Structure 1
Amino acid sequence: MKLKTKLAVSAAVLVSFTAPQVFADTQWNVSLWGKRRAFTEHVEKLAELVSAKTNGEFTLNISYGGLSKNKENLDGISFGAFEMAQFCAGYHPDKNPSITVLELPFMGVSTLEQEIAVSKAVYNHPAVVKDLARWNAKLLMPSPLPQYNIAGVGDAPQSLADFKGLRIRATGGIGEALTIAGAVPTSMSATEVRQALDSGVINAASFAPHAHMSFGTVESADWWTTNLNPGTVNCPVVVNVDSLADLKPAHRDALLGSVDEALNHYVDYYNNQTMAAWGPKLDEKGIERVTLTEAELKTFKDKAAGPVHQAWIDSMNKKKLPAQELYDLVLDTLK
């Protein structure tokens, strides 16, 4: 074989090995925080599904804190530092005012499935789409969480009156409701809570069960409220609009078409693994369960719900958002 022929054959072989790698691989960076836990299981499942459906041509590289601070994930999305991220509305309500309707206390959401339904309805509202577009972000899916409850140190509160003066890590509408109960809400990221609790900066923290376990508050707590249920936080997963538009149609279909399956996996994991571990964990640590009377809960709700809801509507109207429409959308979806 002549030298020129050999070179041509070698080049052809080299192209056959490298071309699929060049044209097939699409990798997205995903910014999360903390560690893998129930709160991130839908993102982990989404990555698994997308890779399987595209035969490994499209992969999601998940980072837990290596790309950005959790309160800066929306900023990172806005300028394309990464393609996908998770954040919580209460971390920066001024950046995403429209979705804070989902963090109002006592809205009547009682299951993860309901939380998914109302979140999807709100995410698809034109005013919300426009609000998040300011950050070049598209809301992909919620991270449904159960009603929050409070774990704290020191003497366990036996009534709502005992919450007066307690410094409690709480964000959004939960914090506003606790203010009405006389507590002093403090906003901080989840990763800062354990140290703040141990050092006495706060007396208690408002979290869903998985976060009490993941961020260590259950290791320090003396008590936990079983039924305060003041609300929850809304923590969506978003994608960069330009990155989504740049995907091949098949890759885009694989991503968007896997959302519901990823959420189903999340709900199953939370209900059957996280909640199954929660009760035994409380028993293991000797944590006192505080259950408030129905009369006290009704008083709390009556005092907090109406004023906080109306204050939100008034505030959002000033921002030129269709506040009443978004508020009614949540209630109508629950019906």
Structure 2
Amino acid sequence: MKNLGMKTAIAALTVAFAGEAIATEWNVSVWGKRRAFTEHVEKLAELVSAKTNGEFTMNVSYGGLSKNRENLDGISIGAFEMAQFCAGYHPDKNRVVTVLELPFLGVANLAEEVAVSHAVYAHPAATEEMAQWNARLLMTSPMPQYNIVGTGDPRSTLADFEGMRVRATGGLGKAFASVGSVPTSVTATEAYQAMESGVVDTVAFAQHAHLSYGTINRADWWTENLNPGTVNCPVVVNIDAYESLSDAHRAVLDESVDESIEYYLENYAKLLQRWDDVLAEKGVEKVTISDAELSAFRAQAADPIRAAWIADMEAQGIPGQELFDLVMTTLENTRKGN
């Protein structure tokens, strides 16, 4: 009986250690606070835990693991297993995906933004560039077209944009520079302070960020139809961590991406539905830019910046024209599918 009891105890320990061996815990680095921009990350964590009965869990950290400009560096050294970053924070590190930040691409909604982003993410040039950072592109963080909030008199013409100090990164910053504005690329978490201290006159964000970072609380006006483009913010995983997953856990992670994105889109749609109420509550004036001014903005920003980007990429051995054409073809095919 004594031997039987010992064998039973050993068997129990073996099962316990076996269970421990297959358990996977990932740390995920994002920033700010939980908001519409991070809901797909939260949903992904929820799904993988539920589908694996808690054997695969994700700890989502809002700034506790890394600064937002350093998330890709953290992924490269394995400081954490998953992270979110925005291409405009360090365009030299993620040149390929900056095609998605070119101004006036014509992306009309979040579903189209998902389609073009994931098409670019799947391109070999994107895979190769991210591999240099030991990163695998997992999913996008789709955002609507950016618009600006500002204080004082509304700015509704290109002449008004002359000398305007605007928080805008990546291709958006270049677009505003093309019409005489002065862009600054402070991070999202620094935008409110920059606006409060007068470092910038205006801030370009998607709606959720104007809410989350409080810039809407300092605003007198908001451009409802400027729509110059958006910022691309991928979610990536450390390649070593991804490849070390069991086949079952890797399959669960991969299959949960579309579900997480779908949840994100549904959640963001609710935010957009109440946006007009937010503006009314805070006394923010909606500014409509005329068609003539929008056309002039596109003429100065879209074609020249795109041509310069393509030439720059091609000179670095990156297929810039092919990537731009991929975005346009994907947009066309997505609309046909709808």
Residue number in structure 1 paired with 2:247 = 249
Partner AA of 1:54 in structure 2: T
- Residue of structure 2 aligned with 1:73, choices 71, 75, 90: 71
Residue number in structure 2 paired with 1:325 = 322
User: Counterpart of 1:257 in 2: which secondary structure?
Assistant: helix
Does structure 1 residue 334 correspond to structure 2 residue 337? no
Residue number in structure 1 paired with 2:42 = 44
How far apart in 2 are the matches of 1:196 and 1:330? 33
The normalised TM-score by structure 1 is 0.96
Residue number in structure 2 paired with 1:278 = 275
**Residues paired across the two proteins, number:** 332
The runs of 5 or more residues in structure 1 that have no matched partner are: none
- Residue of structure 2 aligned with 1:266, choices 250, 264, 267: 264
Superposed CA deviations along residues 192-235 of structure 1, whole A, max 9, x for unmatched, are 01011001111110000000000000111111100000000000
4+ residue runs over 3 A deviation: 4-16
The runs of 5 or more residues in structure 2 that have no matched partner are: 333-338
Identity of aligned residues (%): 60
Residue number in structure 1 paired with 2:130 = 132
- Residue of structure 1 aligned with 2:91, choices 93, 96, 99: 93
Residue number in structure 1 paired with 2:291 = 294
- Residue of structure 1 aligned with 2:152, choices 138, 151, 154: 154
- Residue of structure 1 aligned with 2:304, choices 300, 307, 312: 307
User: Counterpart of 2:236 in 1: which secondary structure?
Assistant: strand
**Aligned-residue offset at 1:21:** 3.9
Residue number in structure 2 paired with 1:26 = 24
How far apart in 2 are the matches of 1:106 and 1:92? 21
CA RMSD of superposed structures (Å): 1.3
How far apart in 1 are the matches of 2:70 and 2:287? 35
Show the 5 A alignment for 1:100-119. Answer: 100-119=98-117
**Aligned-residue offset at 1:12:** 3.9
Does structure 1 residue 237 correspond to structure 2 residue 235? yes
Tell me: CA distance 1:131–1:14, structure 2 relative to 1, closer, same or farther (3 Å). Answer: closer
**Aligned-residue offset at 1:163:** 1.2
How far apart in 2 are the matches of 1:275 and 1:11? 58
User: Counterpart of 1:62 in 2: which secondary structure?
Assistant: strand
How far apart in 2 are the matches of 1:126 and 1:183? 36
Partner AA of 2:288 in structure 1: T
The normalised TM-score by structure 2 is 0.95
Partner AA of 2:328 in structure 1: L
Does structure 1 residue 56 correspond to structure 2 residue 54? yes
Residue number in structure 1 paired with 2:336 = none
Residue number in structure 1 paired with 2:196 = 198
Does structure 1 residue 187 correspond to structure 2 residue 182? no
Partner AA of 1:102 in structure 2: L
**Aligned-residue offset at 1:23:** 2.1
Partner AA of 2:293 in structure 1: E
Partner AA of 1:239 in structure 2: V
